[in-house]
Structure 1
Amino acid sequence: MSVKELQQERNQLFSDLFNNIIPKRMPVSFALNPRIIAEYANLDLLEVQFDYSLLDSVADEAAQLIYSDTCPMMPASLASRIPGGYQAIDSQSFQMGSNGFMQHPEVVGMEESEYPDLIADPYACILEKVLPRQHKALGLDDPVRRSLSISAVQAENNRQLGNTIPIMKRLIDKYGYYQGAPAGSGGFTAAPYDFLSDQLRSFSGISKDIRRNRTQIMEACEALMPLMFQLGLPSNPSPEGAVGMPLHMPTFMREKDFVEVWLPSYLKIVQQYAARGIRTSPFLEDNWMRYVDILQELPAGTVMMFEYGDPKLVKEKLGDKFIIKGLYPLDLLKRGTKQQVIDKAKEICDIMLPGGGYIFSFDKGPLMLSDINLENYRALTEFLRDYAVYDNAGESYGRKLNSENYEIDPDFGKFESKYLTDWDAYKAKYPMTPDSMKEHLNNYDMASLRFYLNLLV
């Protein structure tokens, strides 16, 4: 089979999967993060984190380490926690630890007394209070430093993205990997409650607030909802694309609080995404089995990645409506024998594969070379390639995205802020401006919003 034919086959696997057609076989999708590749190739880890182009010299070797239908090298992205970018803004939210990892310590960006400010104008509160506290170079007392730092973080993030995208494109073309979802069809955001807890109030702060300021938290989640919606909103929705959403607070909450406080704003966001043909891909951190019945309320076609849980229960309760990922224990790659690794994979596949809608993945991504045994990893990926084959390829499965027929609310995602363009005031100041400029100004506002919110997720 030629490289072109292999790529066409791989593209078809993903196209079928995300259009509710049983594929020829389950697509195998794994990736090694830059740190693992650097460790394997004996590159300087610190140097690589500040210059991902150094991976180009070992990228072909890395591509041979495991089998994957997708490019096995990750791009520099938000999840990479690019250290040069955070250093440019003197971040306290994301700092490099003694082991060279970018870490997120518990930090407070909003005081308990500031809930009314957040509720009244969440965007202004974030710009004026939260960002200057979490990223010291963005303080309002030194506008020149703030301006230069914003330019620096943008330049550094763009440089690192530019360092990895050409490498990935070369590997995709050379080895015939899946070409990926259409440009602009993906995104990344957070549930309002999680955003509130993570960067604004902190884990310990929100844990106190849920008892003392329950009503204010609910109002804050409603206020943050349109911002979180805009943050992840794709410009070019496609069944193959998805909005990633790590969900990390619910398992630390009472079910009553989860249902009444956490869930409502999250459900509204994912339902409005679904109404627009946008798929979401939540990572259900920790063990969500006590919420498994509630998860049935999410839109059909949601890609649910589980960290821990009972595969049989997940399949029984959710397998006919959602695409399922996760549940394979990463630590088995390190501690298990090759046969144990394969046996566990077979056990999970035998439960999850029937009926379609399953993508094999670990319960969490490996962070360093010591997290895995590469021989086990290679054996696992090759086993999945050969074993996870369907005998009913071409049949339909599951329920299509937005089969619930959610209706688009044209006002959803809109919010007021003194930092959004007032078109009437703008038009009065620049009367020669054509009305067609109004949409462009709104797009500029939302691009700025995404830039600043991305510094806090």
Structure 2
Amino acid sequence: MNQKQKRIENIRKVVALETPDYVPIEHVVTPELAIEYAGYPMFEGLWDTSLIIDAMGKAIPAYDGDFIRSTFYRSPRYYSALEAKSFVQSKEGYVQHPEVHAMEDTEYAELIADPAAFLAGTCLPRLYQVFDKPEPYRGMALARGMMTFNRTFGPFNAAVGQILADNGLPLITSASAEAPFDFLADLLRSFTGISKDVRRHKSEVKEACEALLPLMIQKACVAPPAVDQMVFMPLHMPPYLSEKVFGELWWPTFKKMVEALVERGHYLYIFFEGDWTRYYDYLEELPVGRILGRFEYADPRIIKERLGKIMSVTGFFPVTTIAQGTKEACIDKTKELMDILAPGGGYAFGFDKITTSVRDINLENITAVNAYVREYGKY
């Protein structure tokens, strides 16, 4: 086995809740962080494929890690070509998701009746304005968008794939998916809209989640069923919901989705954003040994006790500590988490938030922390 294969096998043991050879470390580099690390302006860096490739080539070898979650980034060139309203580049250069909606609360029946047709025929033109034009302009816009996508991500994925191979670093996710409720909130009704709908259109929200479920499963299934091809699922609406709304509207279709993917052999990297303390009873119902759960705000002792036999875990370590704390404080926090989470396996070292800026990290602190994990994380 080469280094990459050894790392993949070790990750498999972690996720399967077997005793691994060592505690693996999640790599911190994202394309946005790499651009800043290489000294390029964020605005130009995200537009220019050659710059972002060069930045990844410099940043990835500079940091230690056993796996990288994703190298995906939102290209302003691509979204600009589609005249997107859902993803726009800020003055600072980052591509952000503003508060927009593509569906009115009077249109639930249309969504429920035929989700694919409604999304393609009604929502897509509202979010991407090039599609809200007569032919032949719509077809030309689609061709331009596809050409822009291929010219941007084709060279990027090939180059970064080689960089990862040269560093023996596995990319462990190959698809992303959303819980049906989150998809409904994010791209169709918006945070404000769904907050009203759970009170005014409760039964329709429930039916809509059921109707969207097959599409969300289909989207996730582009990933092969392998531990180094996980489905990434960022979850963020539950901390903003009441327990009643969570139990009645959010949880049922999410659970069905997870179970369906696991039955098909998939592994899941789930980011439990925010505070999920209220929902541990639900999480105990999830399939065993197929999930790497990343936690942001949580008591690691309770997580280990309640969920340690259900899923492997990562996260917990505050980015603010690694960025602003002393080396001693960082080592103390690392020791605390290792003492709680490492025994018996099922733990990968990682941060509580995704690092998208060099302001999120301190190279000296990361080097010290990684050295500690390497020394004391062996089984």
Structural mapping, 1:25-424, within 5 Å:
25-57=22-54, 59-70=56-67, 75=71, 77=72, 80-139=73-132, 141-175=133-167, 177-180=168-171, 186-234=174-222, 236-301=224-289, 302-390=291-379
**Cα shift at 1:57:** 4.1
TM-superposed deviation, 1:335: 1.5
- Contact 1:85–1:156 under 8 Å retained in 2: yes
Gaps of 5+ in 2: none
Amino acid in structure 2 at the alignment position of 1:157: F
Which amino acid letter does the alignment assign opposite residue 155 of structure 2?
Answer: N
Query: Partners in 2 of 1:94 and 1:202 — Cα distance?
Result: 13
CA distance in 1: counterparts of 2:313 and 2:54, whole angstroms: 35
How many Å apart are 1:368 and its aligned residue? Answer: 1.2
* TM-score between the two structures when normalised by the length of structure 2: 0.93
Q: Secondary structure at the match of 2:106?
A: helix
The CA deviation string for residues 345-368 of structure 1, in whole angstroms up to 9 with x for no partner, is: 110111001111111111111111
Letter in 2 for 1:364: K
- CA drift of 1:242 comes to 1.8
Aligned length: 378
Report deviation, 1:26: 1.3
Work out whether residues 180 and 254 of structure 2, in 8 Å CA contact, stay in contact via their aligned partners in 1: yes
Three-state SS of the structure 2 residue aligned to 1:143 is: coil
Deviations 1:264-296 (A, max 9, x none): 111111111111111222211110011111111
- Conservation of the 8 A alpha-carbon contact between 1:48 and 1:54: yes
Native 8 Å contact 1:65 1:378 kept in 2? no
Task: Output the CA distance in 2 between the equivalents of 1:25 and 1:85.
Answer: 40
In the TM superposition, what whole-angstrom CA distance separates every residue of 1:301-331 from its partner, at most 9, and x where no partner exists? Answer: 2221111111000000000121111111111
Change (3 A) 1:97 1:22: same
Query: Could you report, residue by residue, the CA deviation over 1:403-427 in whole angstroms, capped at 9, with x for unpaired residues?
Result: xxxxxxxxxxxxxxxxxxxxxxxxx
- Quote the offset at 1:99 in angstroms: 0.9
Q: 8 Å contact 1:239–1:277 — kept in the other structure?
A: no
State the superposition RMSD in angstroms. 2.0
Change (3 A) 1:12 1:195: closer
Pick closer, same or farther for the CA change 1:300–1:19 going to 2, 3 Å: closer
- Rg comparison, structure with higher value: 1
Show structure 1 runs of 4+ deviating over 6 A. none
CA contact (8 A) 1:50 1:84 kept: yes
Identity %: 37
Q: Which runs of 5+ in 1 are unaligned?
A: 391-457
- What is the match of residue 16 of structure 1? 13
Go from structure 1 to structure 2 and tell me whether the alpha carbon gap of 1:357 and 1:339 turns closer, same or farther (over 3 Å shift).
Answer: same
1:85–1:152 Cα contact (<8 Å) kept: no
Where 1:297 maps in the other structure, the secondary structure is coil
